[in-house]
Amino acid sequence: MARWQPGATQRLVVAAVDLFTEQGYDATTVAQIAERAGVTKSTFFRHFSDKRELLAAGQETLSRLLAEGITEAPADATPLQAVAVGLEHASSAMGPTNRELAPRLRAAVAASTELQERDALKSVGLAAAMTAALAARGVPDPTAHLAAELGVLAFKRGYARWSESHEDDAGGLAPYALTALEELRTATASLG
């Protein structure tokens, strides 16, 4: 087993998702994940505190990208327009591996209460990053929270549609996330 091979984080995530799909989350051990990824157990623990944290791989980067996009939105952008820029910015980091893993990861999360809890925490973290970025733009607190929550929901809905699509589209995730955001904006207008 080679030491310090590049891409260990991605290999660990892929190995974990494969094993979670094959034998379930509870039956999968850290040792099995490390072996499948071609790394040692100590390498696993340099990247993740436990197997549940594999679900959060990339969360910090995604939060940062969403916040950066919101920050970089034009000064006259509405809160949802700023969120749309954040979604576009973050979507650029999602590639074929993300798309390929999504259905299997979704199935693993659906089958495990522990992973469902971690997924909920991930959503809270993404919303917090977007709320902070919107607040820094001067958006009032309730509006910032609502826009951020809509952004998280749009990202998740768009990501699910993108990963389920069989089209070979060059636009990537962004059009799916932006369509979902527009649908949610329209739905909120009908709330009365």
Residue appearing with tokens 């733009």: 137
**What pLDDT tens digit does each residue of the chain (192 aa) get?**
444 455 888 899 889 988 988 898 889 999 999 999 999 999 999 989 888 888 777 788 899 999 999 999 999 999 999 999 999 999 988 888 888 888 888 888 888 888 888 889 889 999 999 999 999 999 999 999 999 999 999 999 999 999 888 777 667 899 999 999 999 999 999 987
pLDDT of residue 170: 67
Q: Is the dihedral of CA 45, 51, 56, 57 positive or negative?
A: positive
Give DSSP secondary structure letters for the chain: --SS-TTHHHHHHHHHHHHHHHH-TTT--HHHHHHHHT--HHHHHHH-SSGGGGGGTTHHHHHHHHHHHHHHS-TT--HHHHHHHHHHHHHTT--HHHHHHHHHHHHHHHT-HHHHHHHHHHHHHHHHHHHHHHHHTT--HHHHHHHHHHHHHHHHHHHHHHHH-----TTTTHHHHHHHHHHHHHHHHTT-
pLDDT of residue 5: 52
pLDDT of residue 165: 86
Structural domains for the chain: 8-54 (1.10.10.60), 58-189 (1.10.357.10)
pLDDT of residue 29: 94
Non-local CB neighbours of 18 within 8 Å, separated by 6+ positions: 36, 104
pTM given for the model: 0.83
pLDDT of residue 3: 46
pLDDT of residue 2: 43
Q: Are 19 and 28 in contact (CB under 8 A)?
A: yes
> ∠ at Cα 23 (21, 27), nearest 5°?
125
pLDDT of residue 59: 80
